[in-house]
Structure 1
Amino acid sequence: MSLATTILQTEVAAEWLDDNGHMYDTEYGRLFCIASNCLMDGIGLDTQGRQTYDCTLYTLETHVRYLGKVRQGEVLKVTNRILDRDAKRIHAFFSIYRADGQLIATGERLFIAMSTTTRRPTTLPEAVQKRLDTYGQLAHSAWPAAAGRPMGIRKGDEIASSG
């Protein structure tokens, strides 16, 4: 089982806001990128680990859902769960929460291990795989409802009016 691990906490900066006073879409993406780097650090692929193991992670695919708004000064917490993995790939699910616990965004990412010298896919080093073991892995039946969802307009879906 994969427990949600808090890997980042930050405060919304003024430069992250658009003209409506809400966080730019790109800043959600940036937070997911920073959280991905925190995950890399946590599994031993920090700067030293990337050099030692000749391995890094590249993002193959990402899917972001925007579920709420945040304003300047709000504290955000990013959690991570490992959905699936094999010898070369990691399927991770990140969630951003406001301080009050409201889920405001999710980011699903598929990573592949790459050699830092050849820039070709490689196997995750054994030490990295052992560190990944500490994160656990969710059984498919326990994945968050949003995980693995295709993007598109489903017939019968209606957009809720906000006012």
Structure 2
Amino acid sequence: MSIASPFISEPMEIQREWCGAAEQLANAYYNVVFDRGAEGAFESLGMGTGYTQRRGLSFYTAEAHVCFIRPLHAGDQVVVKFQILDFDEKRIRSYQEIHHLDGWLAATTEVMSLHVDLDGPRVVPFPDDVKERLDAMAAAHATLPLPERAGRHIEIS
């Protein structure tokens, strides 16, 4: 199995209904773009569409840090790059970038996701088949440099 390093989403268009009066993408919709961009990566990990219905398992965002670099507007075409930075038996730390198809960086996010059994709900280990795929993707992504914006925190100096 060939693993993209980093994973790059299919192109998607910024929808007019996601934008404010100036046709600039509203802050909350950057997360929609990140989520949609990560869908393919999670599908390749075995946690895509139908994972919740088949297994009663899902993943929750425990923490996210978004950096807005350059505004996006209605009609812009973008891709999302997804990289696993770290993971353990119950969590994934990922980093994503939204790039305009012209190549420039629009936004980044770093996310801590928790693997959850929805019967609890409670945080649980990944199933063996998912863990195996996580190992493979993390190994492929380990060859990438640590993104400059990863690990940031907010402070006033």
Give TM class, smaller chain: 0.7 to 0.9
Counterpart of 1:89? 91
User: Offset of 1:134 from its aligned partner?
Assistant: 2.9
TM-score normalized with structure 1 length: 0.84
User: Offset of 1:26 from its aligned partner?
Assistant: 1.0
Partner-residue secondary structure (3-state), 2:64: strand
Q: Write the letter of the residue equivalent to 1:90.
A: I
Q: Is this contact kept in 2: 1:8–1:79, CA < 8 A?
A: no
Counterpart of 1:129? 131
Counterpart of 2:146? 143
Counterpart of 2:16? 14
Counterpart of 1:161? none
User: Offset of 1:8 from its aligned partner?
Assistant: 4.1
Q: State the distance in 2 between where 1:8 and 1:114 align.
A: 27
Q: State the distance in 1 between where 2:57 and 2:137 align.
A: 19
Q: Is this contact kept in 2: 1:40–1:57, CA < 8 A?
A: no
Q: Is this contact kept in 1: 2:67–2:107, CA < 8 A?
A: yes
Q: State the distance in 1 between where 2:36 and 2:25 align.
A: 16
Give the root-mean-square deviation of aligned CA atoms. Answer: 2.1
Q: Is this contact kept in 2: 1:60–1:109, CA < 8 A?
A: yes
Q: State the distance in 2 between where 1:48 and 1:30 align.
A: 19
- Structure 1 segments unaligned to the other structure (5+ residues): 155-163
Partner-residue secondary structure (3-state), 2:81: strand
Counterpart of 2:47? 45
Partner-residue secondary structure (3-state), 1:45: coil
Counterpart of 1:158? none
Runs of 4+ in structure 1 deviating by more than 6 angstroms, as ranges, are none
What fraction of aligned residue pairs are identical, expressed as a percent? Answer: 27
User: Offset of 1:17 from its aligned partner?
Assistant: 1.6
Counterpart of 1:71? 73
Q: Write the letter of the residue equivalent to 2:67.
A: R
1:101 aligns with 2:109: no
- Structure 2 segments unaligned to the other structure (5+ residues): none
Counterpart of 1:160? none
- Length, aligned pairs only: 153
Q: State the distance in 1 between where 2:16 and 2:40 align.
A: 23
Q: State the distance in 2 between where 1:69 and 1:143 align.
A: 24
User: Offset of 1:50 from its aligned partner?
Assistant: 2.8
Counterpart of 1:152? 155
User: Offset of 1:49 from its aligned partner?
Assistant: 2.9
TM-score normalized with structure 2 length: 0.87
